[in-house]
């Protein structure tokens, strides 16, 4: 193996190790107890991508190295990182699927209301939970459900419901935890001890329960009349961006490479999703004029638009493999062995981190401008 190929391998394994340690700490560090359930759901697509892609990377050199637990579910969950980007389905099909699953999730909260007063109770019963950190939406119950990677077929085949979903997911996470432990031991890392997470005090997660029909309907009237699926997409985007802005720095600790990956990919995929929304508008004419202007202004920011030119860096962070051209430009003297410099001319890791910070803040403001006024939290979980 050449020196540069060896360096590329070192970069890939360091990225895998950083991701593994982040999710190990999230599961084991007692300081994360107040936010662990919500953090796990909000970050589920990234965890799924890590498990799926790390196993595939290691199997390139050793087919028997590691197996992928619950591969179909993880593959579907990891696609939520990409929002509407899907080479097998159109954006409209992705949104239709999200609407179907969200409807299933809502129905679980309403199905107990039967009898004479059942219709009235269903009319007023909230079926969508908004979850907040530092006053910002970082997840919703619908986004969390979508992040799990379950399909309509899965729900039917396993007869899943609100009553048995928890045990089903616990069994899945036990298998994933065993994979992470095995992987860490393979990489010479401690599979048990948390790895020095941030000492910053974690604020408790707050919530607000609302009726999904009214919430998404108000977004549709503001952005795309008659298209409630756009409301689901925009809340997915806002949740992913705010998770990257607020939650990830709190739980990533010293695993800076893992935090960088999640924040960069969140910025990239959300910007790409908004750009696709504008592209589809040119064909279908479904967005309100004000919404078109807000999306256009949001994408016009250099910190947002420039990142869309960096797909090579995005692919390396997600799939771990460093391409031959980038591998030739790596340097052991630079942070992350010069991974950023190898992919983006004239950029540094620190410069990219600053760009991500500004870009995520800009996206969050733009997405909030697209939504009607978000209700304030009503309590603490």
Report the percentage of the chain scoring pLDDT > 70: 89
158 with 168: CB under 8 angstroms?
yes
Under the banding of pLDDT at 50, 70 and 90, the label for residue 151 is confident
Q: Which residue has the higher pLDDT, 216 or 104?
A: 216
CB 175 within 8 A of CB 8: no
Please, what's the b/e burial string for 350-377 (b: 16 or more CB within 10 A of its CB; e: otherwise)?
Answer: eebbebbbebbebbbebbbebbeebeeb
Query: Which residue would you say has higher pLDDT here, 4 or 240?
Result: 240
Locate all alpha helices (DSSP H) within 285-307, ordered by sequence. 289-300, 302-305
DSSP calls for 137-163 = EEEEHHHHHHHTT--HHHHHHTT--TT
**Residue among 297, 291, 299 at smallest CA distance from 275:** 299
Winning range, highest mean pLDDT, from 16-25, 140-149, 190-199: 16-25
Decide if pLDDT at 120 tops 70: no
Helices (H), ranges, 29-164: 36-42, 44-61, 71-78, 91-110, 118-124, 141-147, 152-157
Half-sphere exposure of 369 (CA within 13 A, CB side): 15
Does residue 234 contact residue 194 with C-beta atoms inside 8 Å?
Answer: no
Note the pLDDT of residue 160: 67
pLDDT digits (tens, 9 = 90+) for 84-93: 777 767 777 7
Per-residue confidence (pLDDT) for residue 116, from 0 to 100: 39
User: pLDDT value at position 174?
Assistant: 87
Answer for the pair 66, 183: CB distance below 8 angstroms, yes or no. yes
According to the per-residue pLDDT averaged within each range, which of 2-6, 121-125, 241-245 is highest?
A: 241-245
Under the banding of pLDDT at 50, 70 and 90, the label for residue 1 is low
Provide the pLDDT for residue 113.
Answer: 42
Q: What is the largest CA-CA distance in the chain?
A: 75
Which token pair is 235? Answer: 């809340």
Residue 275, token pair as written in the block: 């750009």
pLDDT tens for each residue of 5-62:
889 999 999 999 999 999 999 998 888 888 999 999 999 999 999 999 999 998 887 6
Is pLDDT of 283 > 60? yes
**pLDDT value of residue 117:** 36
Residue with tokens 């799990």: 148
| pLDDT level of residue 170 (50, 70, 90 thresholds) | confident
- Report the pLDDT value the prediction gives residue 199, as an integer from 0 to 100: 56
Q: What pLDDT does residue 339 have? A: 95
DSSP 359-372: HHHHHHHHHHHHSP
Q: Which of 98-112, 138-152, 215-229, 354-368 bottoms out in mean pLDDT, i.e. has the lowest?
A: 98-112
Phi-psi region of 291 (alpha: psi -120 to 50; beta: other; left: phi over 0): alpha
The pLDDT score that the predictor gives to residue 156 is 67
Q: Categorize the per-residue pLDDT at 104 as very low, low, confident or very high, splitting at 50, 70 and 90.
A: confident
Q: Could you tell me the pLDDT band of residue 164, with boundaries at 50, 70 and 90? A: confident
Per the prediction, the chain carries an average pLDDT of 86
User: What's the pLDDT at 308?
Assistant: 92
Q: What is the pLDDT of residue 114?
A: 44
Q: Which residue has the higher pLDDT, 86 or 124?
A: 86
Q: What is the pLDDT of residue 194?
A: 66
pLDDT beyond 50 at 197: no
- Both tokens of residue 22? 């982040």
Q: CA-to-CA distance for 130 and 281, rounded, in angstroms?
A: 28
């Amino acid at each position: 193996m050449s020196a540069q190929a060896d360096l590329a391998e070192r970069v890939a394994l360091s990225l895998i190790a950083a991701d593994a340690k982040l999710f190990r700490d999230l599961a084991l560090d007692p300081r994360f107890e107040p936010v662990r359930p919500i953090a796990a759901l909000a970050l589920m697509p990234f965890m799924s991508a890590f498990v799926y892609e790390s196993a595939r990377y290691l199997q390139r050199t050793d087919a028997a190295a590691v197996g992928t637990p619950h591969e179909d579910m993880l593959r579907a969950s990891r696609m939520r990182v990409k929002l509407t980007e899907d080479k097998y389905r159109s954006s409209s099909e992705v949104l239709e699927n999200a609407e179907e699953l969200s409807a299933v999730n809502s129905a679980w909260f309403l199905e107990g209301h039967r009898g004479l007063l059942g219709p009235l109770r269903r009319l007023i019963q909230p079926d969508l939970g908004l979850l907040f950190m530092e006053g910002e939406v970082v997840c919703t119950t619908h986004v969390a459900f979508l992040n799990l990677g379950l399909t309509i077929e899965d729900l039917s085949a396993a007869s899943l419901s609100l009553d048995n979903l928890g045990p089903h997911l616990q069994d899945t996470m036990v298998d994933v935890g065993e994979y992470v432990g095995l992987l860490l031991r393979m990489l010479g890392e401690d599979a048990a001890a948390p790895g020095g997470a941030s000492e910053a005090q974690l604020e408790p997660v707050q919530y607000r329960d609302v009726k999904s029909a009214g919430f998404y309907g108000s977004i549709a009237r503001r952005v795309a009349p008659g298209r409630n699926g756009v409301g689901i997409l925009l809340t997915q985007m806002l949740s992913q961006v705010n998770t990257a802005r607020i939650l990830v720095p709190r739980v990533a600790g010293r695993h800076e490479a893992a935090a960088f990956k999640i924040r960069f990919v969140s910025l990239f995929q959300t910007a790409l999703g908004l750009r696709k929304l504008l592209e589809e508008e040119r064909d279908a004419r479904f967005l309100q004029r004000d919404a078109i202007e807000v999306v256009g202004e949001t994408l016009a920011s250099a910190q947002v638009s420039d990142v869309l030119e960096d797909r090579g860096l995005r692919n390396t962070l997600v799939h771990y493999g460093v391409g031959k051209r980038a591998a030739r430009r790596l340097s052991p003297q630079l942070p992350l062995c010069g991974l950023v410099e190898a992919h983006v001319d004239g950029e540094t890791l620190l410069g990219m981190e600053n760009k991500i910070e500004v870009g995520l803040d800009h996206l969050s403001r733009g997405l909030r401008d697209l939504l009607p006024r978000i209700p304030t939290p009503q309590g603490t979980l």
